[in-house]
Amino acid sequence: MFTAPWATSLERSLHWIAGWRPTTLFHLVYTESSILFESHIVDILKGLKTGDLGDLSPTQFRRVSELQCDTVREENAITDELSEWQDGASDLVGCLTEGVERKVRKLVGILRKADDLRLKTVRRVVELLTPQQAVEFLIAAAELQFGVRGWGQDQDGVRRCC
């Protein structure tokens, strides 16, 4: 729908309302936690603590899960609101300027809600983590973004040259 002009085809295909889907963060937490847990299993069995994302406490897992459920509900509500807006988009044809402006304001409001949910989700996930875990999480998020962008650029380049 709305995307930055420099976004690759892959990035555009993964977008949700002009950006990344907030629930992606939970997949990232669970994936990073699992990878690190498995890589440190011997140390963990010896009772050693790593303090990284592989060392999430049961309370942290529960709170991440609760936050994920809340975020899914909010995502769904915003998606439903956008769907309603799209259903009425045909009303724009032949609409007077005030009608178009009202529809555009409504769309801008939906985009703001999506951006606010993205920011709120990042903040709340970081608040659940220790400082070390938060840094690792943010690094993993950046690596994911750069990886998707790089892969998308490679794929777009292949399509252009052939």
pLDDT tens-place string over residues 25-43: 999 999 999 888 877 777 7
Which stretches of 11-115 are assigned E, i.e. beta strand? Answer: none
Of the listed ranges 36-50, 118-132, 139-153, the least confidently predicted one is 36-50
Report d(CA 129, CA 64) in Å as an integer.
9
Q: Does the residue 138 lie in any domain?
A: no
**In the chain, how many domains are there?**
1
CB 88: neighbour CB atoms within 10 A?
Answer: 10
Q: Does the residue 159 lie in any domain?
A: no
Q: Does the residue 148 lie in any domain?
A: no
3-state secondary structure of 44: helix
pTM of the model: 0.82
Q: Does the residue 114 lie in any domain?
A: yes
The residues near 111 (Cβ < 8 Å, ≥ 6 apart) are 2, 17, 18
Burial grade of 32 (CB within 10 A; 0-12, 13-18, 19 or more): buried
Expressed as residue numbers, the domain containing 90 is 11-133
Planar angle of CA 100, 106, 110, nearest 5 degrees: 140
CA 11 from chain center: how many Å? Answer: 12
Q: Does the residue 119 lie in any domain?
A: yes
Q: Does the residue 153 lie in any domain?
A: no
